[in-house]
Structure 1
Amino acid sequence: MSQLTIDSTVSAGGASIPALGFGTARITGEDCTQAVEWALEAGYRHLDTATMYDNESAVGDGLERADVPRDEVFVVTKIDPEDAAFDDALESAQGSCDRLGIETIDLLLLHAPSDEVPLEITLDAINHLQDEGVVDHIGVSNFSVPELEEAVDRSETPIVTNQVKYNPFNRQDALLEYCLEAGISLTAYSPLARGDVADDERLESIGERHGKSAAQVALRWLLQQPSVVAIPKASSRDHVEANADCFDFELSGEEMREVFEISGESPAFALEGDDES
């Protein structure tokens, strides 16, 4: 039986990040609030949002409505690249706190590299937010390896994650290898490829061996990789709960390789410690 549980965490840069998070991109209003409430009831303790999603208030309402203490939930939001200037970044983060109804953001990311503002300026602002207690941990999103290396060099505090698209059809081998070397987590958004994994016969075949769906196999594949966090999105209660139901089985080393081989050969580093039985 796997040692992974729904309260499993990934440690990076002093942060303890719940390995399974609830993504909220493209969900707004009451639909978002209800989905967040369902997610917290199902055991998720990691919520992911962004100013760009225009749903922080709805996420905050779901957090308030759920019968879960605030200090048990790891809240992540992001600064839009258009707000990358120093004062704009400060204002963005405080606005996020206000909309979410929280005093401190557990993890604040720069949503993508800015074409206009040097990275060091934005990181100076985010580091300042940490000094002021507005933000606990910081990270980035949609950064390449060279961009991530620059962020690590420029920041006064650890970059704890890089959030990127990662699923069985969209590999991130070079980035994950760098993250492992640097002690950074990789947060996988679109882990179910916007639902496309559900129709993959290879994932379905693996799932049949465990009494699980193709989507649950894809999530399990991610969570069994070192330093990887997954943030699936779902808007129905059944899908919210099904995505959380991926901790009572374990993929063998051979099954991990089968999933990797959907998009290429298996990278050896991603299978370290996996049972091949």
Structure 2
Amino acid sequence: MEHIVNRHGLNMPKLGLGTWPMVGEDCTRAVLQALELGYRHIDTAAGYQNEDAVGAALAATSVPREQIHVTSKVWWDQLEPQALRASFERSLRDLRSEYVDLFLIHWPTPDMNLRRTLDVIADLKERGLARAIGVANFPLALLREAVETIGAPLAAIQVEYHVTLGQQKLLDFVRQHEMALTAYSPLARNRVSEIPEIVAIARKHGVLPTQIALAWLLEQPGVAAVPKAAGKSNQTSNLESLDVRLDDEDRATIAALPKNERLVNPAFAPQWDDAA
């Protein structure tokens, strides 16, 4: 499987398993199955309330821990230093692991002390408890403040990104700074299967629309994707998207789709940049 490797200590498989909103035994079973199929990148978060279920899978699998990339995140109401450290310790305990491979601030908040919060997660990295650190759901201006003004050694940003939501401004920035961008909701909550242009491209290649949508993301330099999939057939088809090859006509068709269809926008979300 292709990996994204960058100067911030990141070594992340391009395709991962998203675990939200799976919990309990269903989540453990899905993670174990994914690892058996060949996945080596699992995405979880304190806010998903399933780190214990992921941890049970990590403990039960025959795949060595060092071969599995685990991303986790701290929730937006735990960003004060003491609360953040306590949340991180709970995450490690639930994951039954001595470290996480990538640790993210899940959502920014208007009143957060960004420098202080970043100092805490940078300390986790320096101590080897988080192999790499990053953020999620940061608009460009906030990401720029974190990286250029504060100088935090961020390896990645995770944001909603799919064939009908563009992230070109963020992509330009992360490439300039040798970061990765992980796409969540990469299948637009399965709406890609109803987009006529994607369906037509899939038919041309003899694959599924979801595989086209993932292939489009995964062929982009520095871009990873974490589709949620519980069943074996979906996990397998997502994995097989790594072998799908688009042509220039396909890319032009996808480029012409609307790029402003944001599906994840909770009340606590930041003010987003215009999609590009």
Q: Scaled by the length of structure 2, what TM-score is found? A: 0.90
Indicate if the aligned counterparts of 1:15 and 1:137 stay in contact, CA closer than 8 A.
yes
Residue among 2, 5, 23 paired with 1:11: 5
Indicate if the aligned counterparts of 1:124 and 1:155 stay in contact, CA closer than 8 A.
no
Q: What is the one-letter code of the residue matched to 1:71? A: E
Report Cα offsets for 1:161-195 as digits up to 9, x if no partner. Answer: 11000001111111111111121111000000111
Residue 270 of structure 1 corresponds to: none
Please give the secondary structure, in 2, of the residue aligned with 1:135.
Answer: coil
Residue among 47, 57, 63 paired with 1:62: 57
Q: How far apart are the structure 2 equivalents of 1:117 and 1:151?
A: 12
Q: How far apart are the structure 1 equivalents of 2:214 and 2:13?
A: 14
**Alpha-carbon deviation of 1:114?**
2.3
Report Cα offsets for 1:51-107 as digits up to 9, x if no partner. Answer: 000000001112222221100000000011111011111111111000000001110
Residue 271 of structure 2 corresponds to: none
**Alpha-carbon deviation of 1:225?**
1.0
Q: How far apart are the structure 1 equivalents of 2:185 and 2:132?
A: 22
- Relative to structure 1, the CA distance from residue 36 to residue 155 in structure 2 (aligned partners, 3 Å threshold; closer, same or farther) is farther
Instruction: Give unmatched runs, 5+ long, in structure 1.
Output: 1-6, 265-277
Indicate if the aligned counterparts of 2:101 and 2:131 stay in contact, CA closer than 8 A.
yes
Residue 221 of structure 1 corresponds to: 216
147-156 vs 206-215, which deviates more?
147-156
Instruction: Give unmatched runs, 5+ long, in structure 2.
Output: 260-276
**Alpha-carbon deviation of 1:249?**
2.5
Q: Does the alignment pair 1:140 with 2:135?
A: yes
The number of residues matched between the two structures is: 259
Q: What is the one-letter code of the residue matched to 1:114? A: T
**Alpha-carbon deviation of 1:155?**
5.3
List 4+ stretches of structure 1 deviating above 4 A: 154-157
**Alpha-carbon deviation of 1:154?**
5.4
Please give the secondary structure, in 2, of the residue aligned with 1:247.
Answer: helix
Q: How far apart are the structure 2 equivalents of 1:164 and 1:170?
A: 10
- Relative to structure 1, the CA distance from residue 89 to residue 154 in structure 2 (aligned partners, 3 Å threshold; closer, same or farther) is farther
Residue among 161, 165, 169 paired with 2:164: 169
Q: Scaled by the length of structure 1, what TM-score is found? A: 0.90
**Alpha-carbon deviation of 1:227?**
1.0
Identity, in percent, stands at 38
Residue 262 of structure 1 corresponds to: 257
Q: How far apart are the structure 2 equivalents of 1:167 and 1:187?
A: 11
Please give the secondary structure, in 1, of the residue aligned with 2:32.
Answer: helix
Residue 154 of structure 2 corresponds to: 159
Q: What is the one-letter code of the residue matched to 2:119? A: D
Indicate if the aligned counterparts of 2:118 and 2:152 stay in contact, CA closer than 8 A.
no
